[in-house]
Structure 1
Amino acid sequence: MALKPPAPGAEALRQAILSGELAENGRLLPERALAQRLSVSRAQLRGILDDLASDGLVFRRHGQGTFLQPPPVQGAERLGALAQRVSPHDLMEVRLDLEPALAAHAAERGRAEDKVRLAQLSKATRSAADAASYERADDLFHYKIAQMAGNAVFLTLFEEIRSLRQAADWTRVRQDVLGVDEISRISDAHTTICDAICAGQSEAARLAMRAHLEQVWQTLGRAEG
């Protein structure tokens, strides 16, 4: 069913784009088709998309398009075979080395607007209604920190790990043990990480991220048991 054109105004356009009705498998329609469906010029559409990307609400990837969630790493299909050879322990070992460093860099390099968005994402993990909603909010929170680190190589490494986790379907396994109390406890750790990053306290952010990942590893360990 065709989407009814929104009322004039940037906010109406933003909400129409974010609704998901103009996306296929999380990827927005091509710009020409998107502009036609929204009854706007491509220049106006690009301005809205620029603002949404700056807010961390859409993600652009050259050659792949614009996504409503962090996009898959390029060449992700090759990760399927690797995912069959690595264990959750292997992935957590790498995350424990990489993500505390990302948090420290984010504290040093994150812009004011990035920190505002990170605080919103942190709050979203706490208000998640169920495990599936929490996992999406958690994914966006960690991805934003990787972006804020300001290093394309670090971000690519993070995306590889993220894609491996998805290929192995460990997210579904973790959802099986995530109850309301567990989500609240892990979200408290997000708040601690966010506060350190927003205060520009790199070492505190590093330590908070490591403690959080160790907590996540304990949760995943129970899921395996």
Structure 2
Amino acid sequence: MRRLQDLLVSDAVPADGRLPPERDLAARFGVSRARLRHALDALADKGTIYRRQGHGTFAAPPVVCGSTALSRIAREATPQDVMEVRLEIEPALAAHAASRARADDLARLEQMMLATLDQCERAAYETADDIFHYNIAVAAKNPLFLEIFGSIRTVRKLATWSDARRETHTPEVMARFGGQHRALFEAIAARDSAEAARLMELHLLDVNQTVRRRATEAHPA
């Protein structure tokens, strides 16, 4: 449904990406809820929208909103704090994704991996990178892990240094990280949990070193 796809990229979608209830969308577009649900199912299969049971339907991977604790953590946490946690969590997510991902999970993951290979603009790359890592967490098939990962994403997005992080994404860095994403996807698709965990750790270590190097260059001792 073209009008629904236009809505997803319009200013009408709130900052948290949450879409209106199905009954409201059906009334807005003048279609039955069954037809609307069919369109939403097709977009969800493509990874264009995201559903979280009990939370709603989102135009982008949802973040945890309204949490005073996460807002406080975002004010206090440094990029290094976040990377320490990611290095503990995401290799395990990659390993679980390799053993548990369904065919539709792999299709969405491949789509987002390819998107990270085809971006020359920093903001677009960061969006594709974010959704790629989010879909690995989804493919791990553990709701508690996904909630923890969602909290990490929320802190990253709320932190005051989130925009500055984008400056590390030079064309050379984006190309290197994209190649790492390809290798990581291939390990997950091959059901090689150990290799997926190893590659995720190497990728995050490279991300961490790149961010630290950029910070040193910007603020030399």
Partner SS for 2:51: strand
Q: Please tell me the residue identity of whatever aligns with 1:125.
A: T
Map of 1:49-64 to 2, 5 A cutoff? 49-62=40-53, 64=55
Match of 1:168 among 159, 176, 179: 159
2:83 aligned with 1:97, yes or no?
no
Map of 1:25-104 to 2, 5 A cutoff? 25=15, 26-62=17-53, 64-104=55-95
Shift of 1:42: 1.2
The match for 2:187 is: 196
Aligned sequence identity (%): 44
The match for 2:137 is: 146
Q: Tell me the alpha carbon deviations over residues 8-39 of structure 1, each in whole angstroms, 9 at most, x when there is no partner.
A: xx5x3663454436523322233223112322
Partner SS for 1:84: helix
- What TM-score, normalized by structure 2, do the two folds share? 0.89
The match for 2:10 is: 20
* Cα distance between partner residues in 1 of 2:25 and 2:12: 7
* Cα distance between partner residues in 2 of 1:136 and 1:64: 21
Q: Specify every segment of 5 or more residues in structure 1 that has no aligned partner in the other structure, as ranges.
A: 1-9
The match for 1:183 is: 174
Q: Please tell me the residue identity of whatever aligns with 1:210.
A: E
- What TM-score, normalized by structure 1, do the two folds share? 0.88
Q: Specify every segment of 5 or more residues in structure 2 that has no aligned partner in the other structure, as ranges.
A: 217-221
* Cα distance between partner residues in 2 of 1:21 and 1:47: 24
Q: CA RMSD in A?
A: 1.9
The match for 1:5 is: none
Q: Please tell me the residue identity of whatever aligns with 1:123.
A: L
Contact 2:75–2:160 at 8 Å: present in 1 too? no
* Cα distance between partner residues in 2 of 1:220 and 1:144: 23
Q: Tell me the alpha carbon deviations over residues 50-79 of structure 1, each in whole angstroms, 9 at most, x when there is no partner.
A: 232233221223454321111122543431
Shift of 1:96: 0.6
The match for 2:128 is: 137
